[in-house]
Amino acid sequence: MTASTAKAQRFREFKMPDVGEGLTEAEILKWYVQPGDTVTDGQVVCEVETAKAAVELPIPYDGVVHELNFGEGVTVDVGTVIISVDTDPGAGPAEAPTANGTEQAAAATEDEDAEPQGRQAVLVGYGAAPSSTKRRARKPQPGVPAQPASAPIQAELNGRAAPTPMAAPVAAPAAPAAPVVPAVPVLPATSAAGAGSAGRPLAKPPVRKLAKDLGIDLATITPTGPGGIITREDVHAAAAPAVAPSLAGAPEPMAVATAVATAVATAEPGIVDAAARERRVPVKGVRKATAQAMVASAFTAPHVTEFITVDVTRTMKLVQELKQDPDMAGLRVNPLLLVAKAFLVAIKRHPEVNAAWDEAHQEIVYKDYINLGIAAATPRGLIVPNIKDAGVKTLPQLAAELGDLVATAREGKTSPAAMAGGTVTITNVGVFGVDTGTPILNPGESAILAFGAVKLQPWVHKGKVTARQVTTLALSFDHRLIDGELGSKLLADIAAVLERPKRLITWG
């Protein structure tokens, strides 16, 4: 056993897993451990947020935390090492293996571990297939040194240990006696310490991603980190609106003062820079997933939305009665529960609406089960978990699952599996005092029902105008799957059940 192999076996690295079906990245929300803490196999060490949910990650090793590779709030690609654990802390001090050393040790112990080749292990799903692409070794260019001075730093950022340079470092040129200000603006010069062998700026992957999200070109940033590495602070400084851009590196205090004075003197009274009152937030997590899903749905499925106003006085009376029913004790009973039940009963009467459009195979997939999605507004954004096989559940069972679903969503603990496989959805916009809306379909689903606010309104009842509790329902459906007649019948049946809730028995 080589020294590198022993070191790699002692320091075990834990990579960001695929915590959902095919996800490529996750943001580290919170670390529960710090370097030096003792951990055990199965202990939760951090919480990450994907585009679908927040998930806690357990560590598969016993030992002492050696290093946390990323801080909180950093988005990390799946397969990237996020934490290393010293599995034999009693063996004395030792350096953790470099990325190159780890790869060599893994190759040396491949036969011992006898791990099957193929896709990387993930928490949910199958992960990404390994790439078979191999890079061809670069040919040395005439007159170009084989090992530039910045190569060790660049290699470390790329995840490889750089070899020790054979030649002595070249002495830096002497500084000029006096600074020379160019006559025309120029970009900041990139020194050997601030760029790789091909002039590529030096920055760690999270910093590169931050610059990409903010639209900043790394080549225009003057690095302040050790060895010419661009830091997060450098990127944020470049993104902030500058009062007076410097021509030769850091601005002189007098130059800044002069520029500010000039700007104040030339600005018109009452005009304020709009950029000073704006905030830019990177699009990520649930917001990013929601945006992508809504755009895909709106421009893929032809939406049709129909509306109906209905007297729900009897339904509201039934809600109060169910709250006193012993069979519903301890369960959350509200109007949404009966709206959900009415939706399910109507779908049973018109099962053709419970379908999906398969564009790839040019097929319509009719489903003999109903996974009822409930749109939930959470601190993390809008999510749509669903109740599996909701169509076969009794009213108490539906109430229990609805309560658990809402509570889990508010705690931010909804799993990706709970949000997969929905067939239809309900969105309760009435809780915000809104009459109704034109909801957008959840991708892959056929219909979504918007339940508006219940209000006391004048209504003709038994030939007389009287105050009744009234609401407006809106049903959006995929016109590829549902014709206008079928959609209208579905919405009319939902309203009929809510107007006379005894139809839950006669139709159910």
Q: What positions carry a catalytic annotation?
A: 479
User: Can you tell me the distance from the alpha carbon of 275 to that of 172, in angstroms, rounded to the nearest whole number?
Assistant: 40
Q: Does residue 422 sit in helix, strand or coil? A: coil
Taken in order 366, 371, 376, 380, the sign of the CA dihedral is: negative
CA angle in degrees (0–180, nearest 5) for 73-76-82: 95
Q: Does residue 260 sit in helix, strand or coil? A: helix
Phi, psi dihedral angles at 488 (to 5 degrees): -65, -40
Interacting residues of 132 by C-beta distance below 8 A, sequence separation 6+: none
Element (H, E) at 395: helix 395-410
* Angle in degrees, 0-180, between the axes of helices 395-410 and 335-349, rounded to the nearest 10: 120
* Amino acid identity at 164: T
CA angle in degrees (0–180, nearest 5) for 390-394-398: 50
User: Can you tell me the distance from the alpha carbon of 182 to that of 249, in angstroms, rounded to the nearest whole number?
Assistant: 12
Q: Does residue 340 sit in helix, strand or coil? A: helix
DSSP summary character for residue 214: H
User: Can you tell me the distance from the alpha carbon of 2 to that of 15, in angstroms, rounded to the nearest whole number?
Assistant: 24
Element (H, E) at 86: strand 81-86
Are residues 363 and 355 in contact, defined by beta-carbon separation less than 8 angstroms? no
DSSP summary character for residue 139: P
Buried/exposed code over 39-67 (b: 16+ C-beta within 10 A; e: otherwise): beeeeebbbbbbbbbbbebebebebbbbe
Q: Is 473 exposed, middle or buried (0-12, 13-18, 19+ CB in 10 A)?
A: buried
* Amino acid identity at 83: I
User: What is the DSSP annotation of 171-196?
Assistant: PPPPPPSS----SS--PPP--GGGB-
Provide the CB-side half-sphere exposure for 437 (13 A, CA): 18
Token pair listed for 187:
């970009």
Interacting residues of 484 by C-beta distance below 8 A, sequence separation 6+: 304
